[in-house]
């Protein structure tokens, strides 16, 4: 694989040990031949921050990595996630693994996983992308909302619920899983739609193919819709315009070790037992 010579660091300085780890990894990178560095610890990256970089190293938790998705996808550069948080589904390198493997990774010892992004249109000229999920709900937390969902122009169903989650396979282990949705292999080409607390018990997750065009219409005339992208960027639907969701033509490139297994991560993070005790 291509070696990295121009590297950006995005650091969550609120995570204990993250700034110090960044200094260690930067020293390793210099010895490995990296010639150009950028560094940012802001919660919101400036537009074009990754321009001219070969890769981005994110040091923090999954939330920190989600914060770089738009800019990394726009510049089509790989993201190296180093976990200084708790769960670490996306930031797959531990601090110790990063220290031990960073030099070889920068020299080409890695694989790239191209993760699906969702594109959401919330009004004229208003578009954003999400790596995990798009959440649509009432702008008042205590109120239910009535939503109609269409797939390729045909009615799927009408929900009376707290909201609806549209999830990528990557995001299936996030809010989707907590709301009762299925775990989906990261490379599966699908979108999952999971209602939150629907008032019809038969309403369950629906899986759509990756080229579907989904449309959500607010049928609660006395309320307005709130859209959250990856749980970070929040907006309101423009004049209650239909909300359109589809798979983005862009993807996010995640740099992983060559023996990376998503099931290994799931066993560790979801605390699967993995076997039975032998009888004595």
Give the residue numbers annotated as catalytic, written as ranges: 62
In eight-state DSSP terms, residue 15 is: S
> What sign for the dihedral angle of Cα 169, 218, 145, 205?
negative
Residue with tokens 């076997």: 275
Spatial neighbors of 217 by CB under 8 A, at least 6 apart, are 147, 148, 150, 242, 243
b or e along 169-199 (b: 16 or more beta carbons within 10 Å of the residue's beta carbon)? bbbbbbbbbebebbebebeeebbbbbbbebe
Q: Are 88 and 62 in contact (CB under 8 A)?
A: yes
> Which residues partner with 128 through β-bridges?
120
How many angstroms separate the first and last alpha carbons of the chain? 50
DSSP 26-79: HHHHHHTT--EEEEE--SSPPTTTTTT-SEEEEEE-HHHHHTTHHHHHHHT--E
**How far are the Cα atoms of 53, 64, 189, 249 from residue 74, in angstroms, in the given order?**
12, 17, 21, 11
> What sign for the dihedral angle of Cα 133, 250, 120, 161?
negative
């Amino acid at each position: 694989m291509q070696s990295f010579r121009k590297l950006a660091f995005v650091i969550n300085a609120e995570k204990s040990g993250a700034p110090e780890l960044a200094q260690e990894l930067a020293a390793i990178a210099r010895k490995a031949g990296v010639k150009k560095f950028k560094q940012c610890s802001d919660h919101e990256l400036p537009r074009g921050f990754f321009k001219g970089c070969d890769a981005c190293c994110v040091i923090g938790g999954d939330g920190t990595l989600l914060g770089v998705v738009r800019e990394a996808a726009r510049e089509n550069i790989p993201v190296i996630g180093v976990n200084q948080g708790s769960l670490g589904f996306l930031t797959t390198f531990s601090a110790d693994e990063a220290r031990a493997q960073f030099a070889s990774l920068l020299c080409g010892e890695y694989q790239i996983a191209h993760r699906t992004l969702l594109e959401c249109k919330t009004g004229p000229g208003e578009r954003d992308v999400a790596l995990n999920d798009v959440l649509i709900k009432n702008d008042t937390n205590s109120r239910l909302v009535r939503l109609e969902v269409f797939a390729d122009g045909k009615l799927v169903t009408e929900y009376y619920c707290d909201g609806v989650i549209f999830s990528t396979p990557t995001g299936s282990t996030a809010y989707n899983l907590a709301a009762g949705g299925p775990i989906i292999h990261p490379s599966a080409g699908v979108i999952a739609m999971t209602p939150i607390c629907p008032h019809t018990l038969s309403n369950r997750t629906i899986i759509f193919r990756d080229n579907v065009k989904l449309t959500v219409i607010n049928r609660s005339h006395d309320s307005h819709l709130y859209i959250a992208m990856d749980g970070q960027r929040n907006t309101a639907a423009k004049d209650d315009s239909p909300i359109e969701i589809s798979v983005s033509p862009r993807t996010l490139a995640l740099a992983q070790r060559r023996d990376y297994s998503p099931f290994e991560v799931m066993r560790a993070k979801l605390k699967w037992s993995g076997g039975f005790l032998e009888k004595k």
